[in-house]
Amino acid sequence: MRRYDGRRVLVTGAGSGIGQGVALRLLEEGARLVAADISESGLAATVDAVPADQRDRLRTRTVDIANPESARAAVSDAVEFLGGLDVLVNAAGILRAAHTHEMPFEDWNKVIGVNLTGTFLMIQSALPHLIDSGHGVIVNFSSTSAFGSNPYMAAYSASKAGVNALTHSIALEYVKKGLRAVNIVPGGISTGITSGLELPADADWTLMARLPGWIEGGALGKPEDIAGVVAMAASDDGRYMTGTELRVDGGALM
């Protein structure tokens, strides 16, 4: 399937996890793509995972999406390499867990700054180019945490709920300019965020009883499970879809 032949794509968080899975899938489908991440070593690992015959369509770019200058420069460089921009995938994100009454103010600001403000900064910089394309698509990442109750994750849940609202606002504001915007809502996916999650030492695990999903007995999903949904939503197959959520959680919120 080659739904992305001729499509110009920028993916953040592409150095690992879901972002990396999305980048690999869209390259496989023919995209010309810039993979952006704060981690140089992560981007190197992404390049290593790309088949040799696809690498001429790939560039990498380090970016701190929470920094306005860095976000603007990353978009500018991507547009220069790609000759424009058709799709922006905002997959970069972080998670910090703590008792809400004990969460350091710095951690709260960091999570909001990356997940919500960083998504906004990338969108703001990319919008003129996406509008110029005539069929621009923004894919943002929310979470089941924005809809369900996740203890010890107040900042993360709040940031992802903010992404939901941001996406709906963007979708309506620019619908007459041919722009689409959708939210992907993953449940438990096997990534660095989930494997590295540290809950408080006295966390009450009975509050964490909801399984990430029912598929394969509640096993965590994989980045490729999300990548296929993104590939559909941002392609012409998703052309009648905007201002909505696509939940991919193995049934966690059934």
The identity of residue 14, as a single letter, is A
Q: Given 4, 156, 174, 240, which residue is catalytic?
A: 156
Tell me, yes or no, if 174 is annotated catalytic. Answer: no
Q: Is 250 left (phi over 0), alpha (psi -120 to 50) or beta?
A: left
90 by DSSP, 3-state: which? strand
CB neighbour class for 189 (10 Å; exposed up to 12, middle 13-18, buried from 19): buried
214 by DSSP, 3-state: which? coil
The identity of residue 90, as a single letter, is N
Distance, first Cα to last Cα, the chain: 31
37 by DSSP, 3-state: which? strand
Strand partners, 131: none
Q: Which residues contact 178 (CB under 8 A, 6 or more apart)?
A: 131, 134, 135, 136
Cα dist from 252 to 149, 185, 192, 221, whole Å: 11, 11, 20, 11
Residues identified as active-site: 156
